[in-house]
Chain A
Amino acid sequence: KQEVTQIPAALSVPEGENLVLNCSFTDSAIYNLQWFRQDPGKGLTSLLLIQSSQREQTSGRLNASLDKSSGRSTLYIAASQPGDSATYLCAVVNSGGSNYKLTFGKGTLLTVNP
């Protein structure tokens, strides 16, 4: 059974810092990995999707990397801003069988202080 772990559970940084969020998964046979952002009481917003054949994806100040063999992904946020404050979740889709199901980590609660 796939298990996804995110470290740290919470992170507080001053504005302007570069930071890294970590995601690990136990079964490396994945189809893809997705990073989401969730604001309190709201739905999830997809940030980046990395297919299993890719090593990284970039969007603006965000860069996500994937090391499938070691079961790890990182989300790098450059020059953090207070508006980046949210919960960040990673989710994986396993290859083989049903490709419909995402397994989520518990998330990292990020606070960026002005």
Chain B
Amino acid sequence: LAKTTQPISMDSYEGQEVNITCSHNNIATNDYITWYQQFPSQGPRFIIQGYKTKVTNEVASLFIPADRKSSTLSLPRVSLSDTAVYYCLVGEEGYSTLTFGKGTMLLVSP
């Protein structure tokens, strides 16, 4: 399983765009990159998943360079309710388990 490295914490203000980068130097050919969000005392919530280039949904964008050794989760115009821990995970297509790293604690201030 590819190991991931993320910043421990990030600070932002309401209305700003936040980019959280995750390093996964040992990502395998069949691995996909998935981001989850977790609020205190709640289960993680799926945000976005991608394999290469760019993926966008209604809440976020995921940018993956050609070498796939890193990925960036982009949250446009964050609000106070985006304060949470964000986890980057790398997993193989199929029935592999997920290994959660320490995640990034994002604090959004007024």
Chain B binds chain A? no
